[in-house]
Amino acid sequence: MSAAPDARESLAEIVAAVARAEGSPEQPAVSARISILRNYTIEPVEPFLKSQLYRAGIRPDVRFGGYDTVAQDLMDAGSGLLEPAPDGEDLDAYVLGVEGPVQRFTGVCVAVLHRLDDDDDKLVVVPAGTEMGDAEIRRQTHFQEQFFQSVILRSGNGSSQ
């Protein structure tokens, strides 16, 4: 797929490009499962979402819950929408930019530490309004991440080593 989207691309062109990407033997190393719980018809967004993820170098696995079954899908571990991480554990997050331990935290996910040699990626969450560069993320997570090879993934600006 081309690196930059073209606003003039037709739906047919986007669907064809996604089909080519999905059929290619060379798949992106990074994958993302996206489960969409819904109470309206959202499926038409799928080719656009997949197109943008492939352009960003991410292999998408997009799943949709049933119409108006949000609560049921959230409570049903067998729904296929909510599955544990490959290591069987919950998704972990580094909460950065706060002093001391926290019991509960609401913040903004600014990045994902994608481990290249392990299947346990980590979210990087900071207080709303806090900006944090890759070097600072590396500094604050070094105590654990020194044992792994990883890239920092951010929305819209690629990744860094």
Are residues 99 and 66 both part of a single domain? no
Residue 36's φ and ψ, nearest 5 degrees, are -110, 115
Number of H helices, E strands in the chain: 4, 7
Query: Domain residues for 42?
Result: 11-75
Are residues 70 and 16 both part of a single domain? yes
> Residue 161 CB: number of other CB atoms within 10 A?
9
Pairs from 22-26 (Cβ < 8 Å, separation ≥ 24): 22/50
Residue 6 located in a structural domain = no
Structural domains in the chain (count): 2
Residue-wise pLDDT tens for the chain (161 aa)? 555 556 678 889 999 999 999 998 888 877 777 888 888 898 999 999 999 888 888 888 888 888 888 777 766 767 777 666 666 666 788 999 998 888 888 888 888 898 888 878 888 999 999 999 999 999 999 999 999 999 998 875 445 55
- pTM of this prediction exceeds 0.85: no
